[in-house]
């Protein structure tokens, strides 16, 4: 029999193997691949997790929008439809399935999320969008994405909570919502029309809600820039948890 202490050891071991967002933790007492002890005291068993074949948290409608050739997906999960808080996880597709990176705290637009973004609505667009271009006020940190560097990425003023916006665009990744792929994030071409907004980026967090972008800490933006590979056809999957589950 598995003692209470063994159950605790098993749960801790399973959590260590799973990592952030890596899949469901095995239920203590129902592990797969049990190693039988040869002594009178049973040894704790460890369940080896299998990477999911579909991105966790996505419903059939959202999953259908992820291109078959995509092998990197930045999943932005909003806390609620009207919340400006979210988490960001980079998933890498391997032969065994999708492997999750660390979960990072993030901000999205002040009023949350929308399925039909409009200029000035202060909501981030829900959807699946390619990530093809990057840039920033700071020099290229070594990304494999085309990187556009210049003073046009200088941010000034204050945010919705009075926080300084300085440095927000030190690093940015353009989200291909209503923009022309293969151009600088500063390009203002709007295929859907100016009324549908644009300039939706992943950028450096300024400790407050955005107007429509998704923001994460500077060190995490740099990590993301170094990780993304155009040969792996990266996309961002973004929205509140309820919308993504549809």
What does the pLDDT look like over 59-80, one tens digit per residue?
A: 999 999 999 999 999 999 999 9
What is the pLDDT, as a whole number, of residue 122? 98
Asked if 88 and 196 sit in the same domain, the reply is yes
Q: Exposed, middle or buried: residue 6 (CB in 10 Å: 0-12, 13-18, 19+)?
A: middle
Lowest mean pLDDT segment, chosen from 47-51, 86-90, 132-136? 47-51
Of the candidates 65, 57, 114, which has an alpha carbon nearest to the alpha carbon of residue 87? 57
Asked if 98 and 31 sit in the same domain, the reply is no
Judge whether 55 lies within some domain: no
88 close to 227: Cβ distance less than 8 angstroms: no
Q: Return the DSSP state at 139.
A: P
What is the pLDDT, as a whole number, of residue 230? 98
Asked if 64 and 42 sit in the same domain, the reply is no
Task: Give the number of domains in the chain.
Answer: 2
CATH number for 175? 2.40.440.10
Q: 9-13: long-range contacts at Cβ-Cβ below 8 A with a sequence spacing of 24 or more?
A: 9/44, 10/44, 10/45, 10/46, 13/44, 13/46
What is the pLDDT, as a whole number, of residue 50? 67
Quickly tell me which residue has 């940190």 as its tokens. 141
What is the pLDDT of the chain when averaged over all its residues?
Answer: 85
Q: Exposed, middle or buried: residue 201 (CB in 10 Å: 0-12, 13-18, 19+)?
A: buried
Residue 104: half-sphere exposure toward Cβ, Cα within 13 Å:
25
Last residue of a domain, one of 28, 50, 72: 50
Asked if 65 and 171 sit in the same domain, the reply is yes
pLDDT at residue 193 is higher than 80: yes
The backbone torsions φ and ψ at residue 235, rounded to the nearest 5 degrees and listed phi first, read: -135, 165
pLDDT at residue 136 is higher than 70: yes
Q: Return the DSSP state at 128.
A: E
Lowest mean pLDDT segment, chosen from 6-15, 21-30, 51-60? 21-30
pLDDT at residue 222 is higher than 90: yes
Q: Which domain, by its residues, includes 44? A: 1-50
Asked if 46 and 64 sit in the same domain, the reply is no
Judge whether 37 lies within some domain: yes
Asked if 31 and 65 sit in the same domain, the reply is no
Judge whether 40 lies within some domain: yes
pLDDT at residue 2 is higher than 90: no
Asked if 6 and 84 sit in the same domain, the reply is no
Query: Between residues 147 and 26, which one has the greater pLDDT?
Result: 147
Asked if 14 and 42 sit in the same domain, the reply is yes
Asked if 29 and 138 sit in the same domain, the reply is no
Asked if 64 and 106 sit in the same domain, the reply is yes
Asked if 3 and 64 sit in the same domain, the reply is no
Distinct helix (H) and strand (E) counts, the chain: 4, 12
Average pLDDT, stretch 195-214?
98
Asked if 8 and 128 sit in the same domain, the reply is no
How far is residue 108's CA from residue 106's CA, in Å, rounded to a whole number? 7
Last residue of a domain, one of 11, 32, 50: 50
Judge whether 39 lies within some domain: yes
How far is residue 123's CA from residue 44's CA, in Å, rounded to a whole number? 48
Quickly tell me which residue has 């990744």 as its tokens. 173
pLDDT at residue 36 is higher than 50: no
What is the pLDDT, as a whole number, of residue 49? 59
Quickly state the pLDDT bin for 51 (edges 50, 70, 90).
confident
- Percent of the chain whose pLDDT exceeds 70: 80
Judge whether 7 lies within some domain: yes
């Amino acid at each position: 029999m598995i003692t209470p202490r063994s159950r605790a050891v098993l749960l801790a071991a399973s959590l260590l193997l799973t990592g952030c967002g890596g899949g469901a933790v095995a239920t203590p007492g129902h592990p797969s691949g049990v190693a039988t002890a040869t002594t009178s005291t049973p040894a704790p068993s460890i369940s080896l997790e299998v990477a999911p074949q579909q991105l966790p948290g996505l419903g059939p409608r959202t999953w259908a929008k992820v291109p078959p050739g995509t092998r990197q997906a930045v999943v932005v999960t909003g806390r609620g439809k009207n919340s400006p808080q979210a988490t960001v996880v980079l998933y890498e597709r391997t032969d065994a399935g999708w492997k999750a990176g660390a979960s990072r705290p993030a901000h999205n637009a002040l009023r949350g999320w929308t399925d039909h973004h409009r200029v000035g609505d202060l909501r981030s667009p829900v959807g699946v969008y390619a990530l093809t271009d990057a840039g920033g006020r700071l020099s290229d940190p070594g990304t494999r994405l085309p990187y556009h560097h210049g003073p046009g990425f200088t941010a000034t003023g204050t945010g919705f909570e009075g926080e300084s916006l300085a440095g927000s665009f030190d690093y940015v990744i353009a989200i291909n919502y209503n923009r022309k792929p293969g151009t600088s994030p500063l390009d203002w071409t709007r295929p859907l029309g100016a009324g549908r907004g644009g300039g939706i980026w992943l950028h450096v967090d300024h400790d407050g809600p955005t107007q429509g972008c998704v923001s994460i800490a500077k060190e995490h933006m740099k990590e993301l820039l170094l990780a993304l590979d155009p040969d792996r056809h990266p996309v961002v999957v973004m929205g509140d948890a309820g919308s993504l589950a549809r």
